[in-house]
Amino acid sequence: MWGGRFSRGPAEAMAEINASIDVDRRLYAEDIAASQAHAAMLAGRGIISAEDGEAIVAGLGRILAEIEAGGFRFDPALEDIHMNVEDRLRQLIGPAAGRLHTARSRNDQVATDFRLWVRNAIDRHDRQLAALQRALIDQADRHAATIMPGYTHLQAAQPVTFGHHLLAYVEMFGRDRGRFRDCRARLNECPLGAAALAGTSFPIDRGATAAALGFDRPAANSLDAVSDRDFALEFMAAAALTTIHLSRLADELVLWTTDAFRFVRLSDAFTTGSSIMPQKRNPDAAELVRAKAGRVTGALVGLLVVMKGLPLAYGKDMQEDKAPTFDVSDTLALCLAATTGMIADLEADPAAMRAATERGFITATDLADWLVRRLGLPFRQAHHVTGTVVKLAETRGCGLAELPLADLQAIEPRIDADALRALSVEAAVASRTSYGGTAPERVREQVVKARERFL
């Protein structure tokens, strides 16, 4: 490939560190599509003959079929996917294969292939995220009025509905889809024709190859086109944020399936046992999803480190771009599939959730709000009165609603039976009717809107 000037072959360590075929073989379909578009353009512009162009396109088509049938032998000595394909093309169509590399370089070739791959990955993850949103929305619909404790600091704060809680994740995954969508739009410029770094003297038509491959336009600067890996970094950053969201949901599933909470039961299909403790039902899938946020964050960091301080244009350092990107996409795909399965199968336990709202004086805020609304107390003063009531209930070892009215009135004489009604969790939930609030009617409204916005 470039031996003319070299008198000695690579050392073993060199061959091993340099070869990328084990990683970049995954680009085969994109590489062939890009080469076909390039060959067709070269023929269309008369840079190569129509005959050669057709032979190349047909030969590449045959190679694609060979690879997909599993019959292609990838040769590490040929270093990467590009040389493996081109070498096979030479076997199939002879010296005309050598004309394919006219007016291009591996630098623009790999940048094009890789962008196409990331674009496909984005499309896949968008569909997966939509499926996860659907599972969440369906559960939210079912549990629009199922009352559970809402937590801050993992301390019971105010009652919410389980449907409302799940819709919070629908919002997060909706933003994730937005980030992937923006990344897709930004990456959709075609590097082909940038050649090694400077463009080419052949009269190519960059608009034609860009259009043939579904790009919005050719990249405007050839140096940038071959040395830009923003698209991989932005893809990984979007994936990292998605896995952070997944890790939050996974952590909640781990919590909710403990004996202490028992809010939900995961299906057997997403639970494992123990090799030593026969009673265990471990939420392994949830734990693994939670953990994999680390893997994706690590991959993002890795490529940021690689790119830091690299002079233009292409440097071999950039070959370290594909392994982490592929791993991020595989990891994300797996996490999304597992999470969608867990959510779809999940059985909530409304009784356990409701019981948990009995602990922790969860409607104290409602008493404070009542004091503001009915007695006209400034909120800060109402908060203080309620704190005293909570302290009394804690001393007595009872709930707020179980305190005798007389005792409440000893703290604030104007408290009456109406206030006690505000202390029921059902009343509390129903009262929070502000836009985006947890009242069942609001949650149902948001379920409908979410279906429209996201599915």
Q: Which residue in the set 406, 413, 418, 435 belongs to the binding site for a second copy (CB under 8 A)?
A: 435
Q: Which is nearest to 139 in space by CA: 330, 340, 390? A: 340
Phi, psi of 3 (to 5 degrees): -75, -20
As measured in angstroms, the least distance from the Cβ of 25 to a second copy is 17
Q: Which residue in the set 193, 325, 353, 425 belongs to the binding site for a second copy (CB under 8 A)?
A: 193
C-alpha dihedral, 233 to 235 to 241 to 247, nearest 10°? -110
Cβ atoms of residues 41 and 57 within 8 Å: no
Per-position x/- string for 267-296, each x denoting binding to a second copy as judged by CB under 8 A, each - no binding: xxxxxxxxxxxxxxxxxxx-xxxxxxxxxx
| 153 has catalytic annotation | yes
As measured in angstroms, the least distance from the Cβ of 347 to a second copy is 13
- List the catalytic residue out of 153, 201, 275, 434: 153
Cβ atoms of residues 264 and 166 within 8 Å: no
As measured in angstroms, the least distance from the Cβ of 278 to a second copy is 4
Alpha carbons 132 and 122: distance in angstroms, whole number: 15
Which residue's CB is nearer to a second copy, number 28 or number 361? 361
As measured in angstroms, the least distance from the Cβ of 315 to a second copy is 5
| 434 has catalytic annotation | no
Binding residues among 89-128 for a second copy as defined by CB under 8 A: 95-107
Which residue's CB is nearer to a second copy, number 65 or number 409? 409
Which residue's CB is nearer to a second copy, number 69 or number 108? 108
Residue 304 found at the interface with a second copy (CB under 8 A): yes
Residue 299 found at the interface with a second copy (CB under 8 A): yes
Binding residues among 59-88 for a second copy as defined by CB under 8 A: 82-83
Binding residues among 337-366 for a second copy as defined by CB under 8 A: 337-338, 340-341, 345, 356, 359-362, 364-366
Applying CB under 8 A, what is the total number of residues that bind a second copy?
203
